[in-house]
Structure 1
Amino acid sequence: MDNPSIYHIYNSFAFHHAIDKEHFDCSIHIHDGYEIYYLISGNVTYFIEGTAYELNPKDILLINSKELHRPQLNGNCIYERKVINFTQDFFKEFSFTDYNLFRCLDDRVSGKNNLIPAYEVMSNNLDQIIANIEKCNGKDHSQELLKKTYVAQLLIFINNIMDNKKNEILILNKNNERISYIIQFINDNLSSDLSLNTLQEKFYVTKYYLCHQFKQVTGFTLNEYITYKRIMKAREFITQDYPISEIYKLVGFSDYSNFFKAFKKANGISPRDYKKMASK
């Protein structure tokens, strides 16, 4: 398994414009806040919680902190993308009781309606708004305020798109209902026994079918998916001030030692250091 990329969003905002000219294996993505992913070029299949999006240039993906996701590069095309990561804290000035700026990111079934297709992006000038955000790289207050204004504008436009038109979802592997049920069961039972034997008995499938189909449909091995979803849930519990000595049980690890190793491997820091970082 390749090493994961864990995005910690310091100061509540990060903008990445990356270009890769050689093929590489993309890693698992989990992060603390929201992500808006804008593909410029490349042959990319993006797996998000059991849905495989076969992307076109100018497509946008919306991803929240509970959605496990991983891009897969197909071929040796130049891979260029812009990625905006932020938390709700970035928009403290724009908090209203009668308007939810994050509706397009939160009010979805996990892994569904993540895609804003290219024609919607272009017709609503979302690409230009993203370009404006990228230009706001100064440190002074005016640049910071302008950047927040552009990101808020982007979210408002996307909210309107989501409200007015159901997105066209391109799914590489047609909906596999059994795998969808298994994904839902895993997410609802992270504290329980989720061994291969348990899952094959519950869903009346062979181990080979389960492992092969799960990887094909989700882009993750079964063990990868379960481990990282448990780690994501553990991070959520840590930010809610649950005792670290109890969290490993709540997310299904057999002992603290295994939990500690898995958490540090995924995040690069220990659970206690993560708690210190999250409380800043």
Structure 2
Amino acid sequence: MKAVGFTLCKLSNRLQILLYDEFMKKQYRSEFSTRQNMRKEDYEIFFYSDSYFQSVSVHKHDYYEFYFPVSGNVEMEIRGKRTRLVPCDAVIVPPGTSHRAITENSEKSYSRYVFWISADYLREIAAIVPGISYIRTKAASQKQNIFHFSESEYALIQSKILRLIEEDHSDKYAAADFRHICIMDLLTLISRFIYEHDNPRPAEKGSDQIHLMIDFIETHLDEELSLERLGEQFFVSKYHIAHIFKDRTGMTVHRYIQKKRLERCADDIKSGKSLSQIHRTYGFGDYSSFFRAFRNEYGVSPKEYQSVYLLDPLVRNRADEKKGVD
């Protein structure tokens, strides 16, 4: 099987998974509708991706809404209070709660998963899997509707969502049973993550410091980053940082920074930005060093990677608009 100039079987495992996820999203992308009533009795699930978002007024409904933003600048208004969502956020809106999503139209598409589930169906499956009741209780308390997850947690949640979407479009044997299992799996996982965030285990020595360093790195990827700078920022020796970072993450500081920069580069490629602009933004001294690092990480060159995403009409349109501006 040939795919835009390279053989799929030669791709890295990471890129194969990434391409599969993108294929799934394109395959099952829903046409956005302002409809806010369920047509199915138990649940509905959608993946939306829009260049320009058609606003929906403040509304409420008699079912639960789970909202998982993927990209775009989004605010969620719940009971009159607006909150800007950040990557890896999820929103749970219980029945009877006024809300709406607000987004700024930009060159970056507004993508999200939306999962609706009736109160009766959620109650029914919570009776089978009691752990699911935790998110029902959290949502009903009206004290918290927005939940933040780690990147790895959010990736796992997305994989469960994609599995459900795939089964939702399936006519295979026992598809209805699989959909039931997928929903319980998804909601149990979300309940576990929220419970563990609410009831953290005693932190290991140095874990808080590592989390602060990781947050600092991920918000300064377009700046000069080094052991020396981290040492100055956190008032510890660079040798101490190197030791605890390797111990807690399994990677050197340099490798972690490069990995995160390459992930950001990949995101920018998908948004249609030029390769020359991208490699300069994230500290790669020249294109050849960027080319080698990217190929080592993803198994394909930046241009090959770009060609995959430019097959997506939304990405292609943004790239054409960008060229017009340039």
TM bracket, shorter-chain basis = 0.5 to 0.7
**2:39 matches 1:8:** no
Shift of 1:190: 0.5
C-alpha contact 1:263 1:270 (8 A) present in aligned 2: yes
Shift of 1:203: 2.5
TM-score (norm 2): 0.46
CA RMSD of aligned residues (A): 4.2
**2:52 matches 1:100:** no
Alignment CA distance shift 1:188-1:273 (3 Å): same
Alignment CA distance shift 1:91-1:157 (3 Å): farther
Q: Secondary structure at the match of 2:66?
A: coil
CA distance in 2 between partners of 1:203 and 1:95 (Å): 41
CA distance in 2 between partners of 1:267 and 1:112 (Å): 18
TM-score (norm 1): 0.53
**2:309 matches 1:270:** no
Alignment CA distance shift 1:166-1:191 (3 Å): closer
Shift of 1:187: 0.5
| Bigger-Rg structure (1/2) | 2
Amino acid at match of 2:46: F
Moved more, 176-185 or 257-266: 176-185
CA distance in 2 between partners of 1:11 and 1:191 (Å): 26
C-alpha contact 2:295 2:301 (8 A) present in aligned 1: yes
Partner of residue 173, structure 1: 204
C-alpha contact 2:28 2:47 (8 A) present in aligned 1: no
Give the number of equivalent residue pairs: 188
**2:207 matches 1:143:** no
Alignment CA distance shift 1:235-1:106 (3 Å): same
Which ranges in structure 1 are unaligned for 5 or more consecutive residues?
Answer: 14-31, 34-85, 116-129
The correspondence for 1:229, drawn from 260, 285, 288, is 260
Shift of 1:106: 3.8
Shift of 1:191: 1.0
The correspondence for 1:245, drawn from 262, 272, 276, is 276
Moved more, 200-209 or 168-177: 168-177
Alignment CA distance shift 1:178-1:88 (3 Å): farther
CA distance in 2 between partners of 1:113 and 1:10 (Å): 14
Alignment CA distance shift 1:87-1:157 (3 Å): farther
**Which structure 2 residues correspond to residues 83-122 of structure 1 after superposition, within 5 A?**
90=28, 92=30, 94-95=46-47, 99-100=65-66, 102=68, 106-107=89-90, 109=148, 111=150, 114=153
**Partner deviation per Cα, 1:113-146 (whole Å, 9 max, x = no partner):** 949xxxxxxxxxxxxxx9xx79x99xx9413965
CA distance in 2 between partners of 1:112 and 1:274 (Å): 22
C-alpha contact 1:91 1:148 (8 A) present in aligned 2: no
Shift of 1:109: 4.3
Alignment CA distance shift 1:237-1:113 (3 Å): closer
Partner of residue 288, structure 2: 257
C-alpha contact 1:260 1:271 (8 A) present in aligned 2: yes
The correspondence for 1:206, drawn from 218, 227, 237, is 237
CA distance in 2 between partners of 1:257 and 1:217 (Å): 31
**Partner deviation per Cα, 1:226-275 (whole Å, 9 max, x = no partner):** 01000000010011001111101222222211111100000010111101
CA distance in 2 between partners of 1:174 and 1:113 (Å): 22
Shift of 1:200: 2.1
